[in-house]
Amino acid sequence: MDLLPKPDQVVAAAGNVAHKVLYGGLADLRPMPRTLIDEGTLREVYHYRPAATAKETGDPVLLVTPLAAPSSCYDLRRGCSLVEHFVTGGRPTYLVEYGEVSFKDRNLGMEHWIEEVVPTAIREVSAHAGGRPVHVIGWSLGGIFTLLAAADAADLPIASLTIVGSPFDVSLVPLVAPLRPLLNFFNGKGPITKGYQALGGAPKPLVKWAFQLSSFQKLVTKPIALATHLDDTEFLAQIEAVDVFTQNMIAYPGRTFGQLYHRMVKGNALVGGTFEVEGRTIDLAAITAPVLVFAGSTDGIAPVPAVKAVVPLLTGSKETRFEVVPGGHLGMLTGRAARTTTWPAMDAWIAQWSTDPAPSGGSEVDPDPASKRAIGSNPKRRYGSAGSRALSS
């Protein structure tokens, strides 16, 4: 919106404000329809119903949510939903989420997700899809769980792996690095440890606050951004959808939170490519499936170097690719720019490693999008594990 708004900008702004007041919002927050196909302890596996306009064909996709985040990370709003993108393109689409975490779940550790939740979800999706191999996509901690599960169970029916915004060298995360000496000073007996043990984990209000803190600058400048974009319906709808996403954060189980805090944040346990689980070692080098790794150019939670650190660890993978795409931690996955950057790159990767041609429909990839699309969108221009795409100016 200009400093001196044009007449059409004033009309658009007035229309947006009126719509917000009369209807409660601008974003289309209807979730994509889905059916529960499997469930267990903190495990719910869903199949998204096929679109009426596209026949469901090809190998299935399984979306793995991180702990604490609602599944709307993949289905943020109509028009900015990775689920909608896959379903309308005819790709069989599934998701595993964990439901509400309570005090009774406090003794569940990371091994529950690595050994039970993610592997079971992959097998159930493959069976439901007629025995086809599964393309597994994990965002943030969901990506870490996905890689550890794949490394731990060589017999999983995996076609490919896609990891989005998952930090493997936490020492390179600016939000954490300055705090590490202080965290280590208490030697496991500090106020954070005592707090999560008493509460049985990290409660929802704390998780929400931490997510907001990671985007503190955006939080501070948000009123100005809203005021200067009152005429931009898409911008306002995206802000509204992200607000709803943040309001629906989920708690962490106590033992899992403790492991993440002590082993990941303080100990940087994944930087060497191995992870200890119940007396045995999981080695990322055991992964043979092809792996696509995404980093967001402005991601403060998982900055580019912290994510790229996983690439040299995947020495057994058939192929490893690293992509830098526009956006922050959530935006790179389901922001407005993701529609022309992250998603087409996913489409091309899945098509490359599918057992039959990609489904026809809305997700067809432009054969030569380089002239009109931003970084991370050209399936003909790829960089292997030795390099990364430079950010465009």
CATH of the domain at 64: 3.40.50.1820
- Residue 229 in tokens: 């974009």
> For the segment 214-252, what is each residue's pLDDT rounded down to a tens digit?
444 444 344 545 455 565 667 788 888 888 888 887 766
Terminal Cα distance for the chain, rounded: 23
The whole-number pLDDT of residue 229 equals 54
Scan for tokens 């069989």, then name that residue. Answer: 92
Q: Which of 6-20, 151-165, 357-371 has the lowest mean pLDDT?
A: 357-371
CA 112 to CA 99: how far, in whole Å? 14
Max Cα-Cα span within the chain: 68
At 61, give phi and psi (nearest 5°): -110, 135
DSSP 227: H
Q: Which of 93-97, 167-171, 366-370 has the lowest mean pLDDT?
A: 366-370
Query: Do residues 331 and 338 touch, judged by C-beta distance below 8 A?
Result: yes
Q: How confident is the model at residue 262 (pLDDT cuts 50, 70, 90)?
A: confident
The C-alpha angle 300, 31, 341, rounded to 5 degrees, equals: 45
Q: Which of 107-116, 153-162, 356-365, 377-386 has the lowest mean pLDDT?
A: 377-386
The whole-number pLDDT of residue 81 equals 96
Average pLDDT, the chain: 78
For residue 45, is it within any domain? yes
Percentage of the chain with pLDDT > 90? 51
Q: Where are the alpha helices (DSSP H) in 97-165?
A: 110-111, 118-128, 141-152
Scan for tokens 């690439």, then name that residue. Answer: 311
For residue 11, is it within any domain? no
Q: How confident is the model at residue 39 (pLDDT cuts 50, 70, 90)?
A: very high
The whole-number pLDDT of residue 173 equals 87
Q: Which of 55-59, 116-120, 193-197, 381-385 has the lowest mean pLDDT?
A: 381-385
Mean pLDDT for 320-328 is 96
- How far is residue 331 CA from its own chain's centroid? 10
> For the segment 106-124, what is each residue's pLDDT rounded down to a tens digit?
778 889 999 999 999 999 9
- Residue 22 in tokens: 């009369």
Beta strands 291-296 and 158-164 are parallel
Integer CA distances (angstroms), 38 to 32, 84, 98, 130, in order: 18, 21, 12, 15
Query: Do residues 202 and 196 touch, judged by C-beta distance below 8 A?
Result: yes
Rounded to two decimals, what is the model's pTM? 0.76
Domain that holds residue 40: 31-182+268-352
Q: Which of 5-14, 75-84, 205-214 has the lowest mean pLDDT?
A: 205-214
Which residue, 192, 195, 67, 79, is CA-closest to 142? 67
Q: How confident is the model at residue 1 (pLDDT cuts 50, 70, 90)?
A: low
CA 313 to CA 270: how far, in whole Å? 10
For the beta carbon of residue 241, count every other beta carbon within 10 angstroms.
25
At 250, give phi and psi (nearest 5°): -120, 155
For residue 318, is it within any domain? yes
Provide the domain count of the chain: 1
For residue 41, is it within any domain? yes
For residue 21, is it within any domain? no
Q: How confident is the model at residue 5 (pLDDT cuts 50, 70, 90)?
A: low
Q: How confident is the model at residue 266 (pLDDT cuts 50, 70, 90)?
A: confident
Mean pLDDT for 291-296 is 98
The whole-number pLDDT of residue 186 equals 44
Structure-model confidence comparison of residues 345 and 3, the more confident one? 345
> For the segment 135-171, what is each residue's pLDDT rounded down to a tens digit?
999 999 999 999 999 999 999 999 999 999 999 999 8
pLDDT at 196 over 70: no
The whole-number pLDDT of residue 377 equals 36
Helix (H) or strand (E) holding 185: helix 180-185
